[in-house]
Amino acid sequence: MAHRSWFPDVLEGDLVVLRRHVPENLGAFLRWYSDAEVARLTRYQDGPMRPEEIERFFTARALGPESLSLAVHVRETNRLVGTCALSQLDSDNGSALYHITIGEKDVWGRGYGTEATRLMLGHAFETLNLHRIGLSVFSFNERAIRSYQSCGFVIEGRAREAIWRDGRWWDEISMSVLQSDWHAIRGGGVAPVAAAPRRRGRTAPAGLFGRRR
């Protein structure tokens, strides 16, 4: 369980502002997670979430204390476009898992997810003094992998052919970034070297980040 003192009131970047979720954000969650394109990139199950599933997820994970979950707003317009979170916060071992979904498809590829990720990593490593942040991503989500790598994440392993999508099997990739990696990048050092994701079949269409929560 995330200690409430770990939650920031707001994290501000040049492109986005991260704020705590409010009950009124449920409508956006219902729209995002019932969309087949969003579900393809965020769910292990083949298909969108049912409305009752989305409501339970929103209550438990966006509003509840089980994860440090923040809403992604476009700074210029205050438009709600996504959600990001740190879950499984382990203060004893200084670790957490990271998740992000940019649910508004018309803003994919504009850098909002990348900046939100950097803001969350800055909070994790500089304020919470965590040691390691991990995540999982499907191998066809190449846009997300490139974004994570630009933030310091490195590929550390893969579950081979773990996901069935588009009539074929895909790998699930595990990535992580350490506090030392983050400080090296922020200090102008060289980013850690990561293995390039293997191309297996056609390139997937551009999408959003992350795995299911």
pLDDT in tens, 86-140: 999 998 999 999 999 999 999 999 999 999 999 999 999 999 999 999 999 999 9
Q: How far apart are the first and last CA of the chain?
A: 14
Domain-located, residue 194:
no
* Residue 105 lies in domain: 4-186
Domain-located, residue 99:
yes
**193 Cβ partners below 8 Å, 6+ apart?**
154
The domain tally of the chain equals 1
Domain-located, residue 14:
yes
Domain-located, residue 81:
yes
Domain-located, residue 107:
yes
Give me the count of residues in the chain.
213
CATH number for the domain spanning 15: value is 3.40.630.30
Domain-located, residue 196:
no
Q: Are 93 and 86 in contact (CB under 8 A)?
A: no
Q: Is the pLDDT of residue 205 over 70?
A: no
* Alpha-carbon separation of residue 89 from 122, 158, 180 (angstroms): 15, 22, 18
The arithmetic mean of pLDDT across residues 149-173, rounded, is: 96
If residue 180 lies in a helix (H) or strand (E), which one and from where to where? helix 179-186
CA-CA distance, 143 to 9, in Å (whole number)? 29
Domain-located, residue 36:
yes
pTM: 0.85
Domain-located, residue 71:
yes
If residue 160 lies in a helix (H) or strand (E), which one and from where to where? strand 154-165
Q: Are 96 and 130 in contact (CB under 8 A)?
A: yes
User: What residues form DSSP beta bridges with 136?
Assistant: 174
Percent of the chain with pLDDT over 90: 75
